Structure 1
Amino acid sequence: MSFRTRLLLIIGTAVVAASTAGTWILLVTTTRAFEQLDEQRRLALLQQFWRSFDTQGKEIARRVQAIADSEVCIRMAVDLSRPGGDPGRYVDQAQALAAQHSLDLLEIVSGDGRIVSSAQWPARYGYLHPLETQLRRQDDGTVFLSKQQLPDLLAIAVTAIARVNPRESRLYILGGQRLDRRFLSNIALPAGMRLFLYPNVEPTFSPRLLTGTGDDEDLERLAPIVNSVRETRREYTSTVSWSEDTADSDQVQAIPLKGLDDELLAILMVGSSRSDIIQLRRFIGMMGLIAAIGGVILGVGAGWWATRRVTRPIQKLVEGAGRVSRGNWDTRVYVDSKDEIGDLAKAFNQMTDQLLDQRDRLMQAERVAAWREVARRLAHEIKNPLFPLQITLENLQRAKNGHPDQFDEVFQESTDAILSELNSLKTIVANFSEFAKMPQPHLQPADLNAIVEEKARLFQSQLISRTDSRIDLQTALETKATVVQADPEQIGRVLQNLILNAIDAMPQGGTLVVRTREHAAGILIEVEDSGVGLTPEERERVFTPYYTTKQHGTGLGLAIVQSIVSDHRGRISIESEPGRGTIFRVWLARA
């Protein structure tokens, strides 16, 4: 990418960033204002709910007290306080009183907690009332939420208690109204808001229990909110999406409604539509996009004229640097400018002069350093067999001087040892000579699949004959043409060394796989084994001449492989972990 293009991109990016920042600030400010307004609307709706709850509770308490003070209930209390008083005479009394005072629920309970009459379920006559332990602790006129058993379901009701207590007798009146859709419909809802009520009467979430003031929706989407409140017994707020469109969603605040003894009886959910804020945010985003596009067009037009004047001398420097990178180190750049660009051109010309001088000195220093390193490693390899030679000769001298009678025996052992070490020295010198005299490759079109198959057949016959530590050699070859520019003999040597290295890495046997496959840069060869693997330190040094992890290795095999791959302008890499095997990868250019 040219400097001029980058300058234009910077200008365009700055304009886009400014537009984006402005749009983001506007979005954040607007969203916060809407959220504050939404919060105020939810609080107002909740206050209205509690006012309605309080008003209806007082009215229910008044009606229940009126029933308790009625002549019918007083006579009933007196009659039941007498010995032999028959409560069965009043089993239907609650239904008449409930209808007379417009109550959904009404039950008359004796002083010992047994139901005398039940308007909502007459069959409960004689049963202990579920709230019989709480009745004695509540004052007259107490209003609370309760769970009421109906013949076909459990319901939540706003309930009040009153006592019928002439003289020493006790009789309790419990009456109330169901907390349902009818109760919620009395609350005036602002536009875009809705109420849901979930009675907590079943162990798991059931959408059929939900009642609400809004349209029928996929009420299953409220399950996470209900479950969270049931688990924590605290208020919870979350966003509920009713469809794929994010605008079709509500911000829902859930409030637990509790009864006596802090029992969770119901969950009130206040939903506030997010449609308006989502639509507004979309509009602001679209306007911001249009402003950004217009700004970019204007900015690019103005920037094009400015950058053209600035980038001409820079373009000359770029062209000069390109010629230097291609090897033309005598390049000079001429810029008629008295500013920083002119100073940069002068510095560039001085740099090319210095590079010419430093290149010659660096090449000479690299050659010296490379031969020093090879000499050091070669000296180390030769030193290893020299020490046993010295010890053997000293043993011969001591045997000659101290034990002439044993000299022949010692001489034979010593000469064998000397010959063995001399052979080691000879091998070291031969390997070094071979490494130093690597010929230049004779490049020609070569089929990698054919080379792999040839080497696989060669090693397959050897591996099959092994009776222990069996190694399974497999090939997975690319189906397309795998012709590359290479020296077939040298590439065959690369494969041979990598396969031998893999076999040595599997002393207990295993699987060896050789693959070829197409790659963006040409053809890839992979040699994978299931052997012992290498540590990170071993991976770093594995291509170093005379470095080996094997007991009897020369340390030149992989160095030769790397040298051949480099001569072919290819690339080699290694992937390995201890205990997980090793993969060598060789990339070669396609013919």
Structure 2
Amino acid sequence: MKLLKLSLRTRIFISMTILVLIASILIAAVTIYQYKEDAEEYHQGRLERKEQRIQIAINNVLKSTTYPVNEENITSIFRERGRIYQISEEHSLPVNIYDLSGQLLIKSEGNFIEDTIGKKLNPIIIDTLASLYDKRYLIKSEKNDEKFLSSYTYITDSRAKPLAILNLPYLEDDHLITRELLEFLKHLGQVYLLMLLVAVVLAYFLSRYITRSLKAISETIDQTRLDKRNKRIQIGDAGEEIHTLVNAYNSMIDELEESAVMLAKSEREAAWREMAKQVAHEIKNPLTPMRLTVQSFQRKFDPQDPDIHQKLQEYSDTLIQQIDTMSSIASAFSNFAQMPAQKNETLDVVKIVGLALDIFNEDYIIFPSEKEKIIAKFDRTQLIRVVTNLVKNGIQAIPEGQVPKIIVDVFLENDEVVIMVSDNGIGISEENKKKVYEPKFTTKTSGMGLGLGMVKNIVETYNGSITFTSQEEKGTVFKVKFPKEL
């Protein structure tokens, strides 16, 4: 990822340099691999040629011996006049002869590592040799950092009957080939070092030439601003792609000049539209509980009720409180300030939450009113707005046909006041969880989607936070937290 952050010029320079390095490494690797293949082929071919000549010498011994040619006389035949030692010395290769059961019969006294020769052949070698079509078995081994090839073949009489097993141990001496390889790699390294220097210089000038025009374009684009008149790019000698890019930029500048005024006008209109939507939403919030209060009063009004005056007072207080809220919103809008202005009032949160819930007549809203007082600093009006918004969202989240249940609770947690509102509604999908607080986002068929965003702004103004947990088809729990003291 860091490489992608480098300039194009640097990336071209690095790429060309790395390309030469990779080429040199690949050629060196192929050379070494080919050397190993050639060395192995050379040693196998050399051992095969020596084996053929030794077989010819052994056949000549068998033809000229005075002993009967059979398995029992093999040792005597080759010990006669030191013939096995002559063969070994003549071909510069140790010679070992085993009987057909794998027991060592005779070995030459050649200058060879003594313990590479076993006195008894592995039965696997005997069985494998017998099963091979050409009756020749080759084994590779390594000892004391030296590599060996051992060939096993039969010694036969004139009728091709096996008499014994011939073993020729061969030491792979790679010193000469290794020296040649190192010499070749040395010359190759010198050539590629020169090529690398040439490539570095070439990459430097080539990358500079390629990016010269791009740098000029980049500097001009970097100076482009919406609030000033921008210069067109004038470029001379450049490729077709660069000219296409420059023409596209110049066309964009022409369009940008034309749309700058329209954009400023559009932004002003959008800001006023957004403000109007917020005001409409905030005014609608108190209107709903006011309507519910009036409807409840109409439904429950009884002139003969001895508590009629107290109930009338409660209804009146609720309506006056909501009217005050609307009045503060209207004042804030007329003064072009934030709605409404923040006030730090010392109040009983439990009592204010209870007053906010009084406007709802639904009997499925559960709030334990016997809780002790929780004193904190908050704006009374804004706290009511927070509670009513959360409860309204909970009510609207419960689908038709389902027994609704809204639980509101207030408690202290680590010196913070917590207001918890839970419902058994449809829940919030994983896709929508990230959008809950976004302005204008809503899953309802009506409304402008400003409620939760506004609640979040209010709570954060008081150094608080709002979180939620939700399960689809099971419900949602919102938690509002804010400190007791600001």
Q: What TM-score do the two structures reach when normalised by structure 1? A: 0.39
Q: What TM-score do the two structures reach when normalised by structure 2? A: 0.46
